């Protein structure tokens, strides 16, 4: 029995990294639950409402997108549409070249990771510097984020101090305050020298054309404070119909993602500098990125487009806690990534078709999702799609053999007796190769089978 790629990664993850990912996600999840249930009489109703708002938005993109374009233009922004990752990158490059710009400072945006913008710009001779502390560390290490909200959840402070020393940011010092201070000093100079500031958008209101950005470090503000040009890269699913919808979504985003009432900085950007708004960049470009989203919208998994990238489903997922984010081999890890990444991969679906199987379907991701996405149902639909498209499925247990055994009392009893032996037989001596490969990757708990049958027999007497 071949082993799934995600399993392979999980088995090679160092124990200390696994332990720190586990502890960190568990703590955030527990705080999130306490906060929500302490502060709202029925958080589930709020999640339902938020889900309905986002579902309505994604089902009405055909009217909301023209509406938001008109509002943004009326506010003085220039609007661009990018069907693919390549066209989004090209549009950013064109805007920079037209201004003679060379240096960009970037706030954290998942969509820029998705289209690999920083690498593209670097290849074309531009500097694209990450300013979110976690993303900055990922960039200097030439690494990849492993969590949507906390990109360096897989790193410890000693590793970060070593990277800072290597990059000439000071002698080795793993005190977190010193690390932060050094990044701060370095980045301040970069903000002042940059030509362009790039952000994403957590939400865009179709009613007002306002772009909403939330951060905890305030770096998106710095990106826009000294630069003359603001580029916002926005996935088309980020639209909400009305300003008042933001009240519901912002209340849930901070609490679900980082267990905060509200993220430290919440910015509402209405357009570029104007007589009525004398601060900020003089030019503003909003690039709406599709990159497979309309195909997701047309699929039977469209609910995943409600996602507001809070990371709560990662924090609660037993598979993510064991495997960490790189195991998902895509920008979006965890349960949301197990659905979204294979869908966005389009013709590369078979390469990521193992991800929907990386779940016990326990339902915890659905229970915490602030926009009530039925993630387990979507995982099942994707498993079904893989089956219909005959995607090879290494690691799938032989369910036909299981059905045969479970429907034959004698075979079942024999299997129970054999199961007991698994605790005593060394893995290498297991006679069935598929079972041996399976057992090699797992620590079996002590066998407790057979108790139910004994109990039932005694009860009948």
For ligand SF4, give the closer residue by CB, 121 or 312. Answer: 312
How far lies 450's CA from each of 9, 174, 390, 414, in Å? Answer: 34, 53, 37, 11
| Shortest Å, Cβ 369 to ligand SF4 | 3
Distance CA 460, CA 454 (A): 10
Give me the residues paired with residue 376 across strands: none
CA dihedral 217, 223, 226, 229 (to 10 degrees): -160
Interaction site with ligand SF4 (CB under 6 A)? 148, 307-313, 336, 368-371, 373
Q: Residue 336: helix, strand or coil by DSSP?
A: helix
For ligand SF4, the closer CB: 233 or 313? 313
b/e code 85-111 from CB counts within 10 Å (16+ = b): bebbbebbbebbeeeebeebbbbbbbb
Closer residue to ligand SF4, CB minimum distance, 210 or 366: 366
Which residue's CB is nearer to ligand SF4, number 129 or number 313? 313
CA nearest neighbour of 251 among 42, 54, 25, 47: 47
Distances (CA, A) of 429 to 343, 398, 415, 423, 438: 41, 21, 17, 12, 13
Residue 183 vs 204, nearer CB to ligand SF4: 204
Question: What is the smallest separation between the CB atom of 317 and ligand SF4, expressed in angstroms?
Answer: 9
Least separation in angstroms between residue 401's CB and ligand SF4 is 35
Nearer Cβ to ligand SF4, position 80 or 302? 302
Minimum CB distance to ligand SF4 smaller for 58 or for 148: 148
Q: Give 77 or 212: the residue with its C-beta nearer to ligand SF4.
A: 212
In sequence order, what are the residues at sequence separation of 6 or more whose Cβ sits closer than 8 angstroms to the Cβ of residue 308? 50, 54, 202, 203, 249, 252, 253, 370, 371
CB of 306 to ligand SF4, least distance (A): 7
- The residues facing 196 across adjacent strands are 104, 229
Distance of CA 416 to the CA centre of its chain: 41
Burial bucket for residue 388 (CB in 10 Å: 0-12, 13-18, 19+) = exposed
8 vs 24, beta carbon nearer ligand SF4: 24
CB 98 to ligand SF4: min, Å: 35
For the bound state, the minimum distance from the C-beta of residue 366 to ligand SF4, rounded and expressed in Å, comes to 9
The CB-of-313 to ligand SF4 minimum distance in angstroms stands at 3
Return left, alpha or beta for 209; rule: phi > 0 is left, psi -120 to 50 is alpha, else beta: left
Minimum gap (Å) between residue 375 Cβ and ligand SF4: 6
Count Cα atoms within 13 angstroms, Cβ side, for 407.
6
CB of 99 to ligand SF4, least distance (A): 35
């Amino acid at each position: 029995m071949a082993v799934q790629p995600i399993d392979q990664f999980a088995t090679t993850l160092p124990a200390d990294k696994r332990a720190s990912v586990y502890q960190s996600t568990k703590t955030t999840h527990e705080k999130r639950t306490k906060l929500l249930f302490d502060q709202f009489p029925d958080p589930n109703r709020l999640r339902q409402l938020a889900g309905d708002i986002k579902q309505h938005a994604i089902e009405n993109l055909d009217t909301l997108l023209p509406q938001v374009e008109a509002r943004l233009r009326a506010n003085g922004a220039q609007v661009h549409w990018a069907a693919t990752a390549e066209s989004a990158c090209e549009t950013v490059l064109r805007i920079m070249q037209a201004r003679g710009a060379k240096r960009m400072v970037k706030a954290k945006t998942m969509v820029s990771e998705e289209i690999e913008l920083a690498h593209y710009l670097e290849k074309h001779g531009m500097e694209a510097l990450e300013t979110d502390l976690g993303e900055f560390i990922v960039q200097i290490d030439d690494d990849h984020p492993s969590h949507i909200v906390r990109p360096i959840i897989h790193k410890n402070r000693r590793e970060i101090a070593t990277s800072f020393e290597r990059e000439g940011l000071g002698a080795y010092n793993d005190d977190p305050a010193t690390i932060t201070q050094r990044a701060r000093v370095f980045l301040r100079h970069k903000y002042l020298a940059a030509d362009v500031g790039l952000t994403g958008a957590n939400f865009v209101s179709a009613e007002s054309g306002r772009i909403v950005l939330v951060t905890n470090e305030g770096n998106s503000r710095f990106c826009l404070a000294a630069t003359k040009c603001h580029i916002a890269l926005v996935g088309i699913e980020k639209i909400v119909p009305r300003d008042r919808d933001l009240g519901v979504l912002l209340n849930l985003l901070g609490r679900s993602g980082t267990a905060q009432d509200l993220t430290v900085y919440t910015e509402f950007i209405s357009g570029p500098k104007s007589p009525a708004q004398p601060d900020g960049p003089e030019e503003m470009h909003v690039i709406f990125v599709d990159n497979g989203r309309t195909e997701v919208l047309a699929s039977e998994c469209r609910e995943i487009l409600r996602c507001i990238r809070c990371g709560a489903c990662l924090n609660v997922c037993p598979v993510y806690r064991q495997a960490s984010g790189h195991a998902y081999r895509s920008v979006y890890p965890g349960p949301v990534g197990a659905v979204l990444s294979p869908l966005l991969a389009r013709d590369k679906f078979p390469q990521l078709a193992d991800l929907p199987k990386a779940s016990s379907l326990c339902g915890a991701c659905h229970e915490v999702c602030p926009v009530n996405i039925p993630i387990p149902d979507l995982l099942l639909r994707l498993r079904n799609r893989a089956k219909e498209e005959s995607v090879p499925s290494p690691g799938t247990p032989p369910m036909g053999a299981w059905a045969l055994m479970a429907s034959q009392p004698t075979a079942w009893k024999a299997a129970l007796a054999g199961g007991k032996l698994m605790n005593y037989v060394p893995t290498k001596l297991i006679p069935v190769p598929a079972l041996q490969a399976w057992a090699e990757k797992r620590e079996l708990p002590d066998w407790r089978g057979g108790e139910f049958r004994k109990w039932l027999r005694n009860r009948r007497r």
